[in-house]
């Protein structure tokens, strides 16, 4: 048997059920003496262009949310298909600037800067897969990224800033990417557990929500991959026991993430020296599949496969 180590690929543990998000639960006061139910004042009306699939990143400061987002965008636009800002949205121009900066900086090895507190970084995009099957359709994707400091605000019964609260409370399709890093995961267990409780309070049943736990900066373990599925499971059970139990109960997904080789320059700033898109591919494919119900690499129907073979 060869002594050479086998090339490891990222893992993702998928839930086979394809349930949709449950509608928000509205609690009405019983025995209303005034004889009518007043319309509550909300902030969700400010969310424009709801015809999209919203992707919410959760994680503390420096957990790697921005790096994950930028590398996913790089993979989707360079290997999986075409990615462009969605036209006629309120932030089309801002989305073009953000998309350009994310992709150009990553190409140069520059990591994304930290997200501004009390502000949602929103990217309204259209992704068109290069798969020719009619089943693999274009999708609208709205990526939402927020400052890690804002996520700390929900500790001990606290509340999110209004800019974040309006998305979590809105009746929109939401997928969740829950990020914690290899080095600090043990510090995030209670906060992650609290966030999952927060989703339940907002009527988003974990039985049907699309969510995945991502252990970022896996290269800090000394390896760019895992030897087997049990290694990742053991890490999560040990460092995030409450979160692990919740994920297992509801069949939610787990994976790890690495961006590639990083080196520090003379000023202590980390720069990317080689880009690894394997884990970006795994996470992007999970996202597309959870939204559409089809694999981005779907080979097509029987008749499509015949047609594809004729025109190769």
The rounded percent of the chain whose pLDDT value lies above 70 is 79
Q: Bigger pLDDT: 309 or 248?
A: 248
Other CB atoms within 10 Å distance of the CB of residue 54: 21
Half-sphere exposure of 57 (CA within 13 A, CB side): 31
- 150-178, pLDDT tens digit by residue? 777 777 777 777 888 888 888 899 999 99
Cβ atoms 1, 243 nearer than 8 A: no
Is pLDDT larger for residue 93 or for residue 119? 93
Contact 144, 173 (CB under 8 A): no
pLDDT tens digits along 216-269: 999 999 888 888 889 999 999 999 999 999 999 999 999 999 998 888 877 778
Give the span between the Cα atoms of 129 and 136, in whole angstroms.
Answer: 7
> Is 164 in contact with 47 (CB distance < 8 Å)?
no
Residue with the larger pLDDT of the pair 120 and 187: 187
> Phi/psi of residue 177, each to 5°?
-110, 110
**What angle separates helix 241-250 from helix 229-239, to the nearest 10 degrees?**
120
Instruction: Give the pLDDT confidence score for residue 231 in this predicted structure.
Output: 93
End-to-end CA gap in the chain: 39
Check whether domain 51-310 has CATH 3.40.50.300, yes or no? yes
pLDDT reported for residue 111:
87
Q: What is the DSSP letter of 12?
A: B
Q: Judge contact between 124 and 140, C-beta under 8 A.
A: yes
pLDDT for position 159: 77
Residue pLDDT, tens place only, 129-148: 998 888 999 999 999 988 87
CA-to-CA distance for 70 and 68, rounded, in angstroms?
6
């Amino acid at each position: 048997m060869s002594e050479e180590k086998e090339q490891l690929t990222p893992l993702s543990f998928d839930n086979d059920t394809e349930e949709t998000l449950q509608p928000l639960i509205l609690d009405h006061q019983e025995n209303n003496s005034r004889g009518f139910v007043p319309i509550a004042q909300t902030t969700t009306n400010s969310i424009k262009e709801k015809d999209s699939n919203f992707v919410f990143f959760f994680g503390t400061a420096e957990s790697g949310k921005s790096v994950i987002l930028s590398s996913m965008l790089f993979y989707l636009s360079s290997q999986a298909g075409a990615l462009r800002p969605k036209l006629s949205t309120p932030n089309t121009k801002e989305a073009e600037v953000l998309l350009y900066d994310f992709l150009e900086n990553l190409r140069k090895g520059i990591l994304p800067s930290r997200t501004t507190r009390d502000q949602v970084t929103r990217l309204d995009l259209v992704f068109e897969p290069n798969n020719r099957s009619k089943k693999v359709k274009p999708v609208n994707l709205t990526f939402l990224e927020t400052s890690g400091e804002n996520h700390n605000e929900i500790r001990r019964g606290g509340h999110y800033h209004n800019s974040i609260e309006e998305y979590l409370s809105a009746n929109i399709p939401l997928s969740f990417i829950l990020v914690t890093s290899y080095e600090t995961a043990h510090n995030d267990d209670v906060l992650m557990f609290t966030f999952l409780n927060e989703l339940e309070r907002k009527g988003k049943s974990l039985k049907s929500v699309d969510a995945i736990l991502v252990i970022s900066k896996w290269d800090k373990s000394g390896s760019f991959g895992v030897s087997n599925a049990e290694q990742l499971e053991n890490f999560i059970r040990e460092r995030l026991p409450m979160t692990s139990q919740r994920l297992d109960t509801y069949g939610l997904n787990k994976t790890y993430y690495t961006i590639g080789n990083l080196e520090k320059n003379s000023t202590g700033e980390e720069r990317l020296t080689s880009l690894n898109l394997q884990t970006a591919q795994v996470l992007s494919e999970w996202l597309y599949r959870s939204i559409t119900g089809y694999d981005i690499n779907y080979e097509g129907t029987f008749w499509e496969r015949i047609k594809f073979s004729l025109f190769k």
